[in-house]
Amino acid sequence: MPEKVAGIIPVKFEKFGLRHYLICLKGVVLRECLRFLHQRERFISSLVRPLIWLFIFAAGFRQVLGVSIIPPYKTYVLYEVYITPGLCGMILLFSGMQSSLSMVYDREMGNMRTLLVSPFPRWFLLVSKMLAGVSVSIAQVYAFLIVAWFWGVKAPPIGYLMVLPALFLSGMMLCALGMLLSSMIKQLENFAGIMNFVIFPGYFASPALYPLWRIQEASPLLHKICLANPFTYAVELIRFAFYGQIEWLSLGVVAGCTVLFLAAAIIAYDPSRGLVTRKQDTGGNG
C-alpha cells in the first residue's frame, strides 16, 4: 500500500529480498572494518599480544617443555610451532570478547540502538554483527601468521588456506559466546570482571600452551576441565587444519557450541524474551 512519506512521492514499501539482506550484511561488516582501521591501537595491541608470547614466552619455554610427537605432527616440532595454533585461538578469543565489549559500550553509549531498530530480523542483525567481528578477527590472525612466518614458524602452504574454515567456525563460536555474555552485562565495568573469568581460564585450561597429555600427567582434574572447555576444541580444530586434517570431535563440539551460544544470544537480545530489556535503559531520563 503506497503511503505518503518523505520525498512527497508516495513510496511503496517492497518486501525485503536477498539483495536487501546482503546490503545490510555488507553495511554491518564494513562498519566493523572501518572502526577497526580507525582504531590503530586496537590493531597493534591485537598483534603485539600473541607476538610477545611467540617471541619471548615460547623462546623461554622451549628449553623446559618438550613436545613429543603427537597428531597432527609427524615429527618433533619446535615449541613455537606448537603454540602457534593456540595463539591464533588467543587472537580469536580476545577479538571475540573485544567485539562483545564494543557491544556493551555501544549499548551504554546508545549506538547499539541504531542497530536494534533496524527493520531486519533481530537474529539476522546479530549474525551480521558476529560475521563482522569474525572477519576482523581472521584478518588479525593472518597478520600474525605473516609475522610468524618471517620468524620461521611455517605451516605447510596449503595449511594457510585449510585453516580458514577452522578460524571462521572458531571465531563464530567465540563471538557468539561474547555476544551472549554482553547481553548479561549492564555496565562496561562489569564486563572487565567477566573477561577475567572467561578469557584467562578459557585460554590456560586448554592445549593452547601445552599438550593435553602433559596436563593429564600434572592434574587429572585440570585435564577434565580442559576437556569441558570449548576453547580446547577450537585450538585443536585450528591445529589439525594447519596440516590439512579435520579433527572431527573438535569440529562437532565447536559447531555445536556455536549454535548453542548463538541461539542463547539471539534469545537474550530478543525484546520479548531476552535479558537485555529487563534492565532499565540508561539512554534517557524520561
152 belongs to the binding site for other proteins (CB under 8 A): no
Nearer to other proteins, 36 or 231 (CB): 36
> Cα(29)–Cα(24) distance, rounded to whole angstroms?
9
Q: Rounded to the nearest 5 degrees, what angle is found at the Cα of 17, between the Cα atoms of 11 and 21?
A: 105
- Under the binding rule (CB under 8 A), the answer on residue 21 touching other proteins is yes
- List C-alpha distances in Å: 151 to 81, 142, 144: 11, 14, 11
Tell the residue number behind the cell numbers 573477561, with chain if given: 195
DSSP 210: S
Q: Does residue 188 touch other proteins according to CB under 8 A?
A: no
Q: Which triple of cell numbers denotes residue 77?
A: 616440532
Residue from 65, 67, 78, 116 binding other proteins (CB under 8 A): 116
Cell numbers for 100, please give them: 562483545
Interface region with other proteins, contact rule CB under 8 A, candidates 53-61, 78-86, 187-195, 272-280: 272-280
Q: Is the peptide bond before 72 cis (omega within 30 degrees of 0)?
A: yes
How many residues in the shown chain lie near other proteins by CB under 8 A?
A: 48
Contact status, residue 97 vs residue 198, Cβ threshold 8 Å = yes
Part in contact with other proteins (CB under 8 A); list of ranges 33-41, 58-66, 178-186, 194-202: 33-41
According to the binding rule CB under 8 A, does residue 13 interact with other proteins? Answer: yes
User: Contact between 279 and other proteins (CB under 8 A)?
Assistant: yes
Q: Is 43 in the site for other proteins (CB under 8 A)?
A: no
Q: How far is the CB of 218 from other proteins (least distance, A)?
A: 45
Best CA proximity match to 264, nearest among 139, 130, 156: 130
| Residue 19 makes contact with other proteins by CB under 8 A | yes
Q: Confirm or reject binding of residue 275 to other proteins (CB under 8 A).
A: no
286 interacts with other proteins by CB under 8 A: yes
Q: Residue 134 belongs to what H/E stretch?
A: helix 122-150
Question: Which residues contact other proteins (rule: CB under 8 A)?
Answer: 3-8, 11, 13, 16, 19-21, 23-24, 26-28, 30-31, 34-35, 38-39, 109-111, 113-121, 125, 271-273, 277-281, 283-286
